Amino acid sequence: MNTTEKIREVAKQLLADQKVDLVVGFAQGTLPLRSTPYFARTPEQAENLIWSATCENNLANFVRKRTDKVAVIAKGCDVRAIVALIKEGQINRENLTIIGVPCEGMVDRKQICQAIGCQDILEVTDQGAELSLKGKNFEKTLAKADVMFGSCKTCQYNTPVIFDELIGEALPAKEANYDDIAAFEALSAAERNAFIAKEMEKCIRCYACRQACPMCYCSECFVDCGAPAWIGKGAQSVDDNALFQTVRVLHLAGRCVDCGACERACPMGIKLSLLNRKMVKDVKGLFGAEAGVNLNDPPALNVHQFEDKEDFML
Amino acid sequence: MRNPYLPLPMKLVKNFTETSDKLIHTFTLEYLNEQDAESFQYEPGQFAELMVYGKGEAPFGIASSPTEKGILKFSVAKVGVVSNALHMLEEGTIVGVRGPLGNSYPLEQLKGKSLTIIGGGFAFTTLRSTIQYILDPANRGDYGDLTVIYGARNPGLLLYKDELAAWDARSDINLITTIDREVEGWNGRVGFIPTVTKEVAPKTDYAIICGPPVMIKFTMPVLVECGFTPDRIIMSLENRMKCGIGMCGRCNVGSKYVCKDGPVFTKAQLDQLPNEY
Amino acid sequence: MIVSKNEIANLLTQLAETYRVIAPVKKDGMLQYAAIKNGEQACLDDANTKKPGKEILFPQSEELFNYTISAEGIRMQDNVDKEATVVFGMRPCDVKSLVLLDNVFQNDQYTDVYYLTRRANTIIVGLGCAQPAATCFCSSVGCGPFAKEGSDIFLTDLGEAYVIEGISDKGKELLAKLSLAEAGAEQKAAAAKLQAEVTADGSINIEGLAEKLGGMFEHPFWESLHEKCIGCGACTYLCPTCHCFDIADEAKDCDGCRVRNWDACMFPLFTLHGSGHNPRTGGKARWRQRLMHKFNYFVDRYNATACVGCGRCIKNCPVNLDIRQALADVRALD
C-alpha cells in the first residue's frame, strides 16, 4: 500500500468507528501540482484523501479551537505547529488524533514555473525522486530535490515529533542548516535593507502570510487596529509593509515553527522566510529554544533564566 | 464633474454634552456662506459624513430638520477615532461635512397619514429631525396624529431633553417616554420599548422605528400585532459605510447599498434582502 | 492595419512621447503593468499580468485629496489624474473588467471623478490571447480570448506581426495619426480565423446561475464551501472586478490627506459596525458574499456577471479554493 492508500485506510477506520467526527487532510487539487485541504466526515469522503509532494498547506490552521473530535493528516511541520498550539492552549490534545506522515519535502510551484519558463503545465507524473511535466509544447523532468521549498530543504523535523499513528517509515533527523541566514547576515546593513525593501515593494497586503501562519491567530491583528492606527493600511509604503513583517516576526519570536507556510502562501513571491528564520536561528542560538519540537519544553517566552542574554536591553 | 468625496467646510458653533454619561454630544454646525446652505438641501432620514480634519470622517444621521435654517445638527456617540476627536473639538473649529447622503423617510408619501415614531437609545437622531419637521407650523397640517414612543436606559440618557419637555406640552403630539428601570424622580413610564409599545397599542397608518437590533427584534412582532403591514413599517439601517455614494461596497446587503439605496427601508423591502445588517 | 513585431518597440517609444504609455513589463520575475518610456521594456508575449488591470484606473492606494489647515482656513487640493494615457497590450479579460467597473464608479447620483477622469483620458489597446492558460475561463463568462468589448484598439498576434483594428472612435482617431501599413487580405483572414477559433475553457455554464443563487442564501452548501479558506485577500486583490475599498485619513502635523485603499469582503473587519455588531461574522457568510456578489447581486444591479474568467484567483489561492469548482458545485445542487 502506498501512503495515500494507507491514509485512506486509517481515516476510513477512524470515521467508521466514530472515533472522530472529521479527518482533515488533502485531496487532489484542480490544477497540476496542486492539492487542496480536505475535510472528510464520512468513510466515503475519506476515499478522496491523498498524499503527494504538493501537500504544502499547514493543516494546523484547521484544527485550532475546535469542539469536535478531529483527526489530522500531519507532516513534520504541521505537527510542530500543533505542538506549539497545544502549549498555547489553542488545541485540546485529547480531541485530536494525529496521523503523522514523514515528509520528504514539498515541491515549489514557483521554482518549477521558473525552471520551465512559466509555461502552462497540463500534466504531472510523480516518479519518486523526479517529476515529469508535460505542457502543450514541452516535456521536462525535474528532480524534486531541486525544486523543493526552501523551508523543506532546511527542515530538520521531517518526521512528526508526536503522533498517534505514523504512516510509513520515520525519516532520519537532519542537521540544522542556516546557511541561507548566515549568507544574509554576511551582507552589509545597506545591502540587507535594500534587499528587504525590494521584497516588501511587492507586498499587496492581502495578509495571506498571516492567515496561512498557524501561529498567527490574534483575534485582532495590530495591522487591522484602527484606534490607534499603528500602521498605514495602504500597500504603497514599503516602510509600512516592512513594519508589518517585522512586527509579525517579533510576535512570533520563540513561537515560529519554521514551517514556511507564510512564504508558500504569498501570491507575490516575497521571500518572507529570511526574517522569520533569522529570528528562529537567534532564539535557538541565544536561548537554546526551538518551538514545537516536543511537548515538554515550555515556550521560550515563558521562561526566564539568569543566564539569559540581555545585552540587547538598554 | 462634481467630486462627491470632497467635504464642505462648516463651523462648529456648539459642542453640547447631551447625556449624563457624557458619551453623546450634539454638534451644531453653521454654514460658512449662503451658497453652501443653498446647496445642502436635505430631508429627514438622510445622513452625512462628518469629518475632523486630520482624523477622518464617519457617517452620522442628520439630527436637525430642514426647517431649522442655517445649521446642521448631529448627535454622536463616542465610539471610534472620528467620534472621539469630535467630542474634543472646541467650538469655532472648522469641520468637514459630506452629504446629504442616502434616502430619507418618505415624508411626501406620509402626507395625510397618522404616524407612530418609535426610537430607542441614541438612534433617535433622524427621528428628531422627522418630528421637528412635522411639528413645524408649515408642515403640521399635512400630517395626521403623531405618536412618539422614545426610550432610554435611564432619564439621563434621553437625548434632547428640553425639546422632549416642549413636545410634551403640546397637544398635537402624543409623546411617551420610557426608561428601562424605576428611578427616583422619574414620572414617565418604566419598561422596555416592546412592552410599552404593546401597552400604547398605536393605531396609526404608518410606523417608523429606529433603535438597537434587540429592540427592533422584539418590537417588530408587537407592531405586526397592532396591525401594521410590512410596507407600513419604516426602518433605518446602520451598516458600516465608507464612501456613502454606493461604490465602496462595504454596506452591500444583497443587491442593495445601504448608503445609497437606504438607509431607510420598509420592512417589506428588508424582508426581500439577506439578513446582513 | 498591421505592425511587425520588430517595429512594435519603436511604435511604443513614439507613443510615449505624447502619452503616458502603460504596458506589461517584467519586474521582480512577475509580469506587471508599468509606465514605460522605451518600447523595448514592454513584454507582450507572456500571459496575463500578476496584478489585474483595474490597478491602472483604480490603484491599490490612492491619495484622493490633501489639505492644509492654517490661520487663513482650510485649503484643499484635489488629486485628479488627467494625464493622457495609452494602455498597450491589455488582455480582453482585464479590458472587460473595466467595462464592468464603469457601472460601479458612476451611478445615477454620483461620479467617482478619480476613476472616471482616468477612464476618459485612457485609450485601451487590447491584445487577443492566442494561447489561453489552463486557468482561463473567459469563454464561460461572456468574455473570450479575442473579445473586443471595451478595447479602443485591438491587436491580434500573428506570430511575426500584429493585426491592428480600430474599434472605438477614440481608437480609430489615434490609429489615424500613426500612419501604419494596411493589413493584407491574407493577414486579415488569418486574424479573423484566430479570433474565431481560439477559445478558453467554456465549460462552466453560468446560464441561470444568478437565479439559482438567488434562492440559495440559506442553503447548506455555504457551510462547506468556505471550510478550507484561510481568509486572506489574495483572491479579491488580484481579481480584476473586485472593487471594494476603504477610505482613511492620514495626517502629518496639521496637514492631512484622504487616501483610499483596496479592501476586501474576506476580512472580518470589513463589515464590523462601530457598535461591535458584525453582520457577516464567519468565513461562511464571507464566501457567500463573494460568490453572491459576483454572480447574483452584481447581475441584479448591473445586468452583468462580475467575473471575467481571468483565473488569477485560481492561480493565486493559497489553498486552491477554485471558483470554477464552486460554480460547478452550485450547478450540481438540486
- Asked if the C-beta of B227 comes within 8 angstroms of chain A's C-beta atoms, the answer is no
Angle at which helices A238-251 and A189-200 pack, to 10 degrees?
A: 100
Q: Is the pLDDT of residue B128 over 90?
A: yes
Amino acid at position B62, single letter: I
Q: Where do the structural domains in chain A lie, given as residue ranges?
A: 3-108+148-302, 109-147
Phi and psi (nearest 5°) for C260?
-120, 140
- The residue of chain C nearest to residue B273, with distances taken between CA atoms, is C217
Per-residue model confidence (pLDDT) at position B147:
96
- Asked if the C-beta of B53 comes within 8 angstroms of chain C's C-beta atoms, the answer is yes
Q: Check the annotation: does B210 bind a ligand.
A: no
B268 within some domain: no
3-state DSSP call for residue A139?
Answer: strand
B241 within some domain: no
- The residue of chain A nearest to residue B56, with distances taken between CA atoms, is A226
Strand partners, B16: B26
DSSP H or E stretch at residue B24: strand B24-31
CATH of the domain at B140: 3.40.50.80
Do residue B50 and residue B95 come from a single domain?
yes
B248 within some domain: no
- The residue of chain B nearest to residue A226, with distances taken between CA atoms, is B81
- The residue of chain A nearest to residue C263, with distances taken between CA atoms, is A206
A259 by Cβ neighbours in 10 Å (0-12 / 13-18 / 19+) ranks as buried
The Cα–Cα gap between C316 and C233 comes to 10
Q: Check the annotation: does B226 bind a ligand.
A: no
Do residue B123 and residue B220 come from a single domain?
yes
In angstroms, what separates the C-alpha of C127 from chain B's closest C-alpha? 29
Between A and C, how many CB-CB pairs are < 8 A? 114
Q: Check the annotation: does B248 bind a ligand.
A: yes
Per-residue model confidence (pLDDT) at position A309:
75
What sign does the CA torsion over C314, C316, C317, C319 have? positive
Set of chain A residues whose Cβ sits within 8 Å of the Cβ of B84: 227
Per-residue model confidence (pLDDT) at position A314:
62
Note the pLDDT tens digit of each residue in C135-172: 999 999 999 999 999 999 999 999 999 999 999 999 99
Q: Which of B41, B72, B101 corresponds to the end of one domain? A: B101
Asked if C274's CB is within 8 angstroms of B80's CB, the reply is yes
Nearest to B238 among C67, C273, C297 (CB): C273
B208 near B192, Cβ under 8 Å? no
Angle at which helices B125-135 and B161-168 pack, to 10 degrees?
A: 40
Set of chain B residues whose Cβ sits within 8 Å of the Cβ of A226: 80-81
Percent of chain B with pLDDT over 90: 90
- The residue of chain C nearest to residue A198, with distances taken between CA atoms, is C28
- The b/e string for A62-74 (b: 16+ C-beta within 10 A; e otherwise) is bbbebeebbbbbb
Do residue B131 and residue B62 come from a single domain?
no
pTM attached to this predicted model: 0.94
Mean pLDDT of B240-266: 95
The Cα–Cα gap between B256 and B275 comes to 12
In angstroms, what separates the C-alpha of B61 from chain A's closest C-alpha? 22
C41 near C85, Cβ under 8 Å? no
B125 within some domain: yes
Set of chain B residues whose Cβ sits within 8 Å of the Cβ of C109: 245-246, 260
Note the pLDDT tens digit of each residue in B171-204: 999 999 999 999 998 988 999 999 999 999 999 9
Chains touching C (at least 3 CB pairs under 8 A) are: A, B
Give the A-side interface with B, CB within 8 Å.
226-227, 229
Note the pLDDT tens digit of each residue in B18-33: 999 999 999 999 999 9
Per-residue model confidence (pLDDT) at position A159:
96
Q: Is the pLDDT of residue C253 over 60?
A: no
Per-residue model confidence (pLDDT) at position C275:
80
Set of chain C residues whose Cβ sits within 8 Å of the Cβ of A270: none
Q: Is the pLDDT of residue B165 over 80?
A: yes
Do residue B129 and residue B229 come from a single domain?
yes
Asked if C60's CB is within 8 angstroms of A236's CB, the reply is yes
3-state DSSP call for residue A286?
Answer: helix
Set of chain C residues whose Cβ sits within 8 Å of the Cβ of A218: none
Q: Choose among A114, B191, A130, B270: nearest CA to C279.
A: B270
In angstroms, what separates the C-alpha of A228 from chain B's closest C-alpha? 8
Set of chain B residues whose Cβ sits within 8 Å of the Cβ of A227: 80-81, 84
Set of chain C residues whose Cβ sits within 8 Å of the Cβ of B51: 249
B261 within some domain: no
User: Which cell is C196 given?
Assistant: 474565431
Do residue B120 and residue B59 come from a single domain?
no
- Asked if the C-beta of A120 comes within 8 angstroms of chain C's C-beta atoms, the answer is yes
The Cα–Cα gap between C88 and C15 comes to 10
The Cα–Cα gap between C323 and C305 comes to 14
Set of chain B residues whose Cβ sits within 8 Å of the Cβ of C104: 247
Name every residue whose Cβ is closer than 8 Å to that of residue B239 and which is 6 or more positions away in sequence.
B250, B251, B253, B258, B259, B263, B277, C271, C273, C279
- Asked if the C-beta of B238 comes within 8 angstroms of chain C's C-beta atoms, the answer is yes
Asked if B240's CB is within 8 angstroms of C272's CB, the reply is yes
Per-residue model confidence (pLDDT) at position C46:
82
- Asked if the C-beta of C232 comes within 8 angstroms of chain A's C-beta atoms, the answer is yes
Asked if A267's CB is within 8 angstroms of C238's CB, the reply is yes
Per-residue model confidence (pLDDT) at position C22:
98
- Asked if the C-beta of C251 comes within 8 angstroms of chain A's C-beta atoms, the answer is no
Mean pLDDT of C319-324: 97
Per-residue model confidence (pLDDT) at position B201:
92
**ipTM, interface predicted TM-score of the complex:** 0.94
What is the overall mean pLDDT for chain C? 94
- Asked if the C-beta of C173 comes within 8 angstroms of chain A's C-beta atoms, the answer is no
Band of the pLDDT at C252, cuts 50, 70, 90?
low
Note the pLDDT tens digit of each residue in C159-206: 999 999 999 999 999 999 998 999 999 999 999 999 999 999 988 989
A95 by Cβ neighbours in 10 Å (0-12 / 13-18 / 19+) ranks as middle
Band of the pLDDT at C254, cuts 50, 70, 90?
low
In angstroms, what separates the C-alpha of C294 from chain B's closest C-alpha? 10
B122 within some domain: yes
Q: What angle do CA A310, A312, A314 make, to 5 degrees?
A: 100
DSSP H or E stretch at residue C17: helix C5-18
In angstroms, what separates the C-alpha of C57 from chain A's closest C-alpha? 15
Chains touching A (at least 3 CB pairs under 8 A) are: B, C
CATH of the domain at B23: 2.40.30.10
User: Which cell is B196 given?
Assistant: 410599552
Between A and B, how many CB-CB pairs are < 8 A? 6
Per-residue model confidence (pLDDT) at position B32:
93
In angstroms, what separates the C-alpha of B80 from chain A's closest C-alpha? 7
Set of chain B residues whose Cβ sits within 8 Å of the Cβ of C301: 255
Do residue B157 and residue B228 come from a single domain?
yes
3-state DSSP call for residue A72?
Answer: strand
Do residue B135 and residue B229 come from a single domain?
yes
Q: Choose among C7, C260, A15, A176: nearest CA to B245.
A: C260
Asked if C111's CB is within 8 angstroms of B212's CB, the reply is no
C266 near C280, Cβ under 8 Å? no
The domain containing residue B167 runs over which residues? 115-236
Which residue blocks in C67-151 are alpha helix, DSSP H?
92-104, 113-120
- Asked if the C-beta of B3 comes within 8 angstroms of chain C's C-beta atoms, the answer is yes
Residue appearing with cell numbers 474599434: C167
Sheet with strand B264-266: strands edge to edge: B189-190, B174-179, B146-152, B115-120, B206-210, B233-236, B264-266
- The count of domains in chain B is 2
The Cα–Cα gap between C84 and C88 comes to 13
B177 by Cβ neighbours in 10 Å (0-12 / 13-18 / 19+) ranks as buried
User: Which cell is C94 given?
Assistant: 482585464
Q: Is the pLDDT of residue C251 over 90?
A: no
Asked if B81's CB is within 8 angstroms of A226's CB, the reply is yes
Per-residue model confidence (pLDDT) at position B187:
86
Strand partners, C2: C163, C181
Higher pLDDT, B1 or B131: B131
Higher pLDDT, B54 or C305: C305
Nearest to C250 among A39, A114, A232 (CB): A232
**pLDDT, one tens digit for every residue, chain A (314 residues):** 899 999 999 999 999 999 999 999 999 999 999 999 999 999 999 999 999 999 999 999 999 999 999 999 999 999 999 999 999 999 999 999 999 999 999 999 999 998 998 888 999 999 999 999 999 889 999 999 999 999 999 999 999 999 999 999 999 888 999 999 999 999 999 999 999 999 999 999 999 999 999 999 998 899 988 777 888 888 889 999 999 999 999 999 999 999 999 999 999 999 999 999 999 999 999 889 999 999 999 988 888 888 777 776 76
